[in-house]
Amino acid sequence: MRAFIGIALIMGIVRLPGINDYWDTCHKPISQTWFREHFERDRFKLLLKFLHFANNDGMPAQDSQDYDPLYKNKPVIDYFVHVFKRHFHPSQNITIDESMVSFRGRTPHLRQYMPQKRHARFGVKLWCLCDTKTGYTHTFEVYKEVRQGDRSEEGFIYNLVMSDAFDEAG
C-alpha cells in the first residue's frame, strides 16, 4: 500500500496524459522507468478501481436532505484534519485562507472555477485555518455548493468561523 500511495502522489507531480502512459515503454520522451520498477500497471489499476474509504450502502441519496458530496472521502478528510490538529498548535496570529486544489473530476457539487487563480482554475476550494508565522494549515474545510435552504443572514464566512471545524484553533 505504501508503494501504491507513493505512486499516486508522484502522479500528481509528474503529469502525463493517461494512467497507462506512466508504464509506457514505446515512447522514449515520456517513458517513466521508475513506475515500472515499483508497481505493475494492472495491479495499480485494480487497486485504484476497488479502493474505498466508506461503505456505499450507508450513502444517502442525492435528493435527500442528508446528502453529502464528500461522503466517500469523509474518513480521509477527517483523518488529515485530526493529524494536522494533533501535530501543531498555532500561534496567536491565525488567518482563514482560501485555497484551490486542482481537480477536473466529475463532482459538480464540489468543483469550482476561479479565473483569477493562475495554476489551478478548476478544482476543489478549501477554506484553511493557517498560522501566519509558519503558514502551517491547522485545519481545513472543503467548500460545498450552498443549497438554497442552507443560506443564512450572516453569510458563509461567518458560519465557517463559528463552525465546529474551526472551534479548536488553540
Amino acid 168: pLDDT: 55
Residue in this structure with the C-alpha cell 501543531, named with its chain if needed:
88
40: which residues sit within 8 A by CB, 6+ positions away?
A: none
Digit-coded pLDDT (tens) for 56-86: 888 888 888 888 888 888 898 899 888 888 8
- Residue 121: strand, helix, or coil: coil
Could you tell me where the beta strands, DSSP code E, fall in the chain? 94-102, 111-113, 122-131, 137-142
